Structure 1
Amino acid sequence: MAENELKQIISELDSLKANNVNQAPQLLSRAKLALLHLKALVPSEDTQPQHLALATSVLELGALNSIKLKDTDAFTRYYQQLQPFYSLSDNSQALGRQSNQSKVTGLYLLLLLSVGDYAGFHTVLEGLEQSSGKEHLEKDEFIQYPVRLEQALMEGSYDKVWGETKGERVPSEEYAVFSEVLINTIRSEIASCSERAYPSLPISNAKNLLFLDSEGAVVQFAQSRGWVAKDGRVYFPQQEEEMLAAEKNVMSSSGVVIENTLGYARKLETIV
């Protein structure tokens, strides 16, 4: 009974569309309860192969629907729960081509990139190379996508990153969610560098620099950063304040130098 109910829930989860993805948490709760009855929520050597496959499908669907709901904490929990299932060799044979292991793992790599955890990224990638082999990974589009992004980030080639996150290069709709997060992170880094490097920039230049679609988007972004947009330029208040402070320091230092120089001059006149 539990097995048939579980298959029905998996079918419902698999068919969820964007407009009803909010139903996923309730369906997943029912699925986990069914897995408990089957003693398959946590894998063991005694768990029947078909139950391992069903449990893996539930957890993978939980991970993928968590991404659609933009719940990265839930996604991370599902990813961690899946690891003991993936480590069972018998399970990989039972799953066959139905497993979403590559997709879920690639998404986790992309999550690590989006939060700047490069050490974690390489740890996971090295583990995959040991378990699956480098040649196999090089043919896996779900793994190669975050690998290409990481290489571009290390090179500082943000334009390549931008290109990878557009259109047909994105492997699936779930990847588009993290790609957006990654671009926002890069945009924030570029903005911080710009604030330190320039007192202002033309809005047209800022649009290209920040990978924004329109000058109106630049104005909105400027407002969110506390910048001032006027007369076709964006001004960085922090940079202006630092420049004014530096000028005051220079003037203060110059005043001391001038005063000391005048003092020396008076002493020289006295000696003469």
Structure 2
Amino acid sequence: MPGDSDLKSLVSELNNALNRKDLDTTTNLLSRAKRSLLQHNALIPNPSLSPELTSLARQVLELGALASIRQTDAPTFTRYYQQLQPFYDLERDAGAPGEKSSQPTVDIKTSQRSKITGLYLLLLLSMGDSTGFHTVLEGLVEEASLKGKSVEDDPYIKYPVELERSLMEGSYDKVWRETKSERVPSEDFGLFSNVLVGTIRSEIADCSEKAYPSLPISNAKNLLFLESEGAVIEFAQQRGWVLRDGRIYFPVEPEATRSEKDILMASGTVIENTIGYARELETIV
């Protein structure tokens, strides 16, 4: 069975491969590292594990989570996040006032708990899972308050929290600006941020189809948060919109001509969704 030093070497190689963005090598090393953890019975923390082995096991899972993000594999990232929770529970318990645990002492210096948790919050946000988002956030708020801190002291947590706040206000333009700003905590957050913006863009497109017969391409660029008119044309083609004389023509509904009231209701869909989202949050908090 490979020793701790062999696993430590594997983790170092894994880190280097991920930093080089060599995802093929990363995947291969992850398989080897997880087999080693299985042989050490270290996939879940237990009292028989040394602090070093516990830390190495957590690092393998964290690197696996980050690799899955860079492969745009949200389900695998979610599985890694779930596998990491027993390790993060150790960290939380170790930091709680007056708490003593029979589990191994943990080395939190190498932990990426904050980053992984922030990424998971952003994923939940991009999926529209407000219940899951606030369930995780409430636990973080409680933990931070016991330490006399705020969750927003942590930039990895602050970023998704501020995005969620803007979404609840219906400030989609602010969300878009935030995802393009220097406040994005790391490159990994940019990947899920793009998913979130894509979700918002699709919702705006749905509402636009119901609210307008057509729009100038130049207006659609700003409305849909696209970088260029070429990007608008590509997006329009994907949606099956008709492009003619510098305008986008939306599909005509087969029903009878819509009333002004129908158009106003369609235009207000985003606002109504935001209000509904806020009401849902009130039942959670």
User: TM-score under structure 1 normalisation?
Assistant: 0.85
- 225-234 vs 89-98, which moves further: 89-98
- Tell me which residue corresponds to 1:164: 178
Q: Distance between the aligned counterparts of 1:236 and 1:13, measured in 2?
A: 49
**Superposition pairs for residues 171-182 of structure 1, below 5 Å?**
171-182=185-196
Q: Is the 8 A contact 1:2 1:37 kept in 2?
A: no
Match of 2:33 among 28, 31, 34: 31
- Tell me which residue corresponds to 1:99: 111
**Structure 1 pair 73–220 and aligned structure 2 pair: CA distance change class (3 A):** same
Q: Is the 8 A contact 2:118 2:156 kept in 1?
A: yes
Alpha-carbon shift at residue 169 of structure 1 (Å)? 1.4
1:2 aligns with 2:3: yes
What RMSD over aligned residues (CA atoms) do the two structures have, in Å?
Answer: 1.9
Q: Distance between the aligned counterparts of 1:32 and 1:231, measured in 2?
A: 58
- Tell me which residue corresponds to 2:144: 132
- 94-103 vs 14-23, which moves further: 14-23
Q: How many residues align?
A: 245
- Tell me which residue corresponds to 1:264: none
Alpha-carbon deviations, 1:124-177, whole Å to 9, x = none? 000111223372412100000000000011111011101111141110111010
Alpha-carbon shift at residue 14 of structure 1 (Å)? 1.0
Q: Distance between the aligned counterparts of 2:248 and 2:231, measured in 1?
A: 12
Alpha-carbon shift at residue 23 of structure 1 (Å)? 1.8
Alpha-carbon shift at residue 21 of structure 1 (Å)? 1.7
Q: SS at 1:246's partner residue?
A: coil
**Structure 1 pair 46–130 and aligned structure 2 pair: CA distance change class (3 A):** farther
Q: Distance between the aligned counterparts of 1:81 and 1:73, measured in 2?
A: 12
Q: Is the 8 A contact 2:47 2:104 kept in 1?
A: no
Amino acid in structure 1 at the alignment position of 2:67 = N
Alpha-carbon deviations, 1:94-150, whole Å to 9, x = none? 323211000000000000011100110000000111223372412100000000000
Amino acid in structure 1 at the alignment position of 2:140 = L
- Tell me which residue corresponds to 1:61: 63
Task: Answer with 1 or 2: which has the greater Rg.
Answer: 1
Structure 2 gaps of 5+ residues are 95-102, 260-285
* Larger helix percent: 1
- Tell me which residue corresponds to 1:201: 215
- Tell me which residue corresponds to 1:183: 197
- Tell me which residue corresponds to 1:43: 45
- Tell me which residue corresponds to 1:225: 239
Q: Distance between the aligned counterparts of 2:115 and 2:104, measured in 1?
A: 15
- Tell me which residue corresponds to 1:267: none
- 64-73 vs 15-24, which moves further: 15-24
1:14 aligns with 2:15: yes
- Tell me which residue corresponds to 2:281: none
- Tell me which residue corresponds to 1:114: 126
Q: Distance between the aligned counterparts of 1:24 and 1:124, measured in 2?
A: 29
Q: Distance between the aligned counterparts of 2:49 and 2:5, measured in 1?
A: 17
Amino acid in structure 1 at the alignment position of 2:34 = K
Match of 1:72 among 71, 74, 79: 74
Q: Distance between the aligned counterparts of 1:82 and 1:178, measured in 2?
A: 19
Q: Distance between the aligned counterparts of 2:179 and 2:220, measured in 1?
A: 20
Structure 1 gaps of 5+ residues are 250-272
Q: Distance between the aligned counterparts of 1:9 and 1:248, measured in 2?
A: 64
Q: Which portions of structure 1, spanning 4 or more consecutive aligned residues, are displaced by more than 4 angstroms?
A: 90-93
Alpha-carbon shift at residue 248 of structure 1 (Å)? 10
Amino acid in structure 2 at the alignment position of 1:228 = V
Alpha-carbon shift at residue 36 of structure 1 (Å)? 2.1
Alpha-carbon shift at residue 195 of structure 1 (Å)? 0.6
Which structure is higher in RCO with an 8 Å CA cutoff and minimum separation 6? 2
